[in-house]
Amino acid sequence: MAKKKKRRTTKKWYSTKKRQPTEWLVVLPGVLFVLGVGLVLYIQYTGAQTQERLANEAKQEELAKVKKKKEFINQLAPYAQELQQKYHVLSSITLAQSILESDWGKSSLAADYHNYFGIKGDDPDNTKEMTTKEYLNGQWVTTTARFRVYRDYRESMLDHVLLFAHGTSWDHNHYQHVVAATNYTQAAQALKQDGYATDPNYPEKLIELVKTYRLDQFD
């Protein structure tokens, strides 16, 4: 009778023992920590990228605004100087008023009707009725008034200077102090003295504009 051969068995080198739940509890905090650190680093990176992008956009926007302001000044300055030579109204004051009154040419009165100085009128044929703010009895009130309509900014600038040079229909010397001023500070104060604007801070606003944008270089 033949002997039965013994079946050879191969020992497995790895353990088939199942991991116990307690082992996962040991590993899980480490995994979560690594994921948490990665998430924090990702948020910080993307946040820094976003802040850099927003900063660049803000910088570009500011540069665009500065460029537009320079263009506005450079467009009006030559004619302001020409008018100063003829009518003795300082260019710095003409430019500062045009900036303040028209908000750098962006107001509807300036953009639509080329009125850069808020000059009013009575003739319905060459005026437009619009709302405006006036400083009356110690407070700002909204009212309506008729403002002159011009063909372009040069016509508006000329009318503005002629008002100072020739005065009003009831007083030809009404703005004599503005015309006689030898510097922008005197001229700004003279505008308040001669009743050009109702804003009690009008001279200070003009002076600040002249200083900020060095408008006196055109005088």
Q: 71-98 burial string, b = 16+ CB within 10 Å, else e?
A: ebbeebbebbeebbeebebbbbbbbbbb
Report the C-alpha gap between 93 and 219 in whole angstroms: 9
- CB contact at 8 A, 146 and 121: yes
- CB contact at 8 A, 94 and 160: yes
End-to-end Cα spacing for the chain: 132
Site of tokens 């030809």: 172
Report the C-alpha gap between 206 and 41 in whole angstroms: 51
Report the C-alpha gap between 113 and 131 in whole angstroms: 14
In degrees, to the nearest 5, what angle opens at C-alpha 192 toward C-alphas 186 and 196? Answer: 115
Other C-beta atoms lying within 10 Å of the C-beta of residue 116: 30
Residues noted as catalytic: 134, 159
Residues 6+ apart with CB under 8 A from 79: 153, 154, 157
